[in-house]
Each structure stands twice: as structure tokens, then as C-alpha cells.
Amino acid sequence: MTSTDVRTDPSTNAAQSRGSVEMKLEMVIMPVSDVDHAKAFYTSLGWRLDADFVISDDFRVVQLTPPGSEASILFGKGVKSVAEGSSEKVLLVVRDVDAARADLVSHGVNASDVFHGTAFRPGTTGRLPGPDPKRQSYSSFTSFRDPDGNEWVLQEIKQRLPGRGGFLPMDVSGLAALLHETAEHHDPFEKSHPPHNWWDWYAAYLDARQHGSAPDDASAAAGRYMEGLLDAVQG
């Protein structure tokens, strides 16, 4: 989604406050013309091969997962044909769109130049060259197509909008950077409060970041959580 997709409809907020059944995107079924060719393309990108089951002469399923993703793609023989139409503009989220594009190019992929504006209109309509001038989250993109014309759009998100969680880094360098950030924000609290378990503050901070809070907001949330713990201990 883009930052302009956020809605403030009261009925929507009311529905969210009541809660709902949790639904997570698990699978995108892709049309391909050559199963082995498609499998070779996606594995060449470093995507994890989860399954390749030949059920019968006319039914085969292949499942792969992008690095760090909780959702996978599935294609095969007897699944979905190219004649039924390609899955246009499947979205992937990345922290650094320039690094993501460089990685794609290193694997031989003809990725587009980084652009901003919009990636969700037909063709290249609304695309402006280069990353977003202010480098705002949700605003910079690159894209590529697989051999069957299925288009993938990579959207840079460095900071989630409030309530949009699920984006803690999965790689070692990303986790190291996040822990460094956490330590820096914990330092003022540690110097101004009685001795406490640092891991309690860290857990509250990381939980807030996971749920889309900016660093300062996450720090405030962790402080409130710790104040409650310290009051309980002193009481």
C-alpha cells in the first residue's frame, strides 16, 4: 500500500476496534508457461524452494518463498495457465530499494531503474525517475518481470505507518542495526531510572517497533511499560 491509501473512515476504525479474524497472506498462485524455466528463474534469485511435487502426468506444484517472506508463490502444471492471465503487480517490501535492485541485477534480472510516484497504475503511468526526493517510506520502487510476464514491484518501507507491523529485519546486519538503535534509545531511560532488567525495556521497545511505531514513540511506549513494572516492584 502507499501512504495515500490510509483511510480514516469511522466505520473502518470501529470495525478494527471490535477486532476480527486474523488473516495473513499465505500464497500467490502464478501462471507460468514452462514450470522448469520458472523454477530456475526464481531459484536463481535465491528464493527458497519449499516443494516440487509431481502428483500425476498432468498435475505438478512448485512452491518457493522470497527471502524473509511469510508468504510464498505457487505455480505448476495443471495449476494456472498463462492463458488465464498473468498476476500483475505482486508487491514485495524491502528496506533499501537501491540495494534490492542491485541484488536483482547481480542475478541477471532486468530490473527497472528506481522510481517514485506510483507503481499501481497500468504500465509505467505515474512513474517519476529516481527515488522519492524526501525518501519517505512507501514512495520508492523498482520492478521486474519473470519470463511469463508476471510483474513484481519492490516497495521501500523503512518505517511502517502506525498499526502496520510485521517488519522487523530478518538478516544479521539488520538485527544488529535494530539492537544498536534499541540500545541508544534505552540509554537515557537507564541513566534516569532505578536499576532494572534491560531486556524488559528492550522487549517493550521491539514490540512497539514491530507494530509500526517510530523509534521515539517506541521509546515512550517502553518507558510507560517499565514505569508500570517499577511501580509494581516498589509497591
Report the share of the chain in percent with pLDDT over 70.
Answer: 80
Would you say residue 217 has pLDDT above 90? no
- Would residue 19 count as lying in a domain? no
Q: CA 39 to CA 63: how far, in whole Å?
A: 9
pLDDT tens across 145-184, in order? 999 888 898 989 887 665 555 556 666 877 888 899 999 9
pTM as predicted: 0.60
Would you say residue 20 has pLDDT above 70? no
Q: Which three cell numbers stand for residue 105?
A: 541485477
Q: CA 134 to CA 9: how far, in whole Å?
A: 28
* pLDDT, average across residues 17-28: 64
- Would residue 34 count as lying in a domain? yes
- Would residue 111 count as lying in a domain? yes
Q: For residue 131, which amino acid is it?
A: P
Of 33, 53, 83, which residue is a domain's last? 83
pLDDT given for residue 23 in this prediction: 63
96 and 76 share one domain: no
Q: CA 201 to CA 194: how far, in whole Å?
A: 13
Q: CA 2 to CA 143: how far, in whole Å?
A: 15
Of 158, 191, 213, which residue is a domain's last? 158
Q: How confident is the model at residue 36 (pLDDT cuts 50, 70, 90)?
A: very high
pLDDT tens across 96-105, in order? 899 999 999 9
Number of domains in the chain: 3
36 and 76 share one domain: yes
127 and 114 share one domain: yes
Range of the domain at 52: 24-83
- Would residue 1 count as lying in a domain? no
Question: Which element (helix H / strand E) includes 91?
Answer: strand 90-94
Question: Phi, psi (5° rounding) for residue 229?
Answer: -65, -45
115 and 154 share one domain: yes
CATH number of 51's domain: 3.10.180.10
Q: CA 126 to CA 115: how far, in whole Å?
A: 10
pLDDT given for residue 2 in this prediction: 46
Of 83, 101, 123, which residue is a domain's last? 83
192 and 133 share one domain: no
- Would residue 2 count as lying in a domain? no
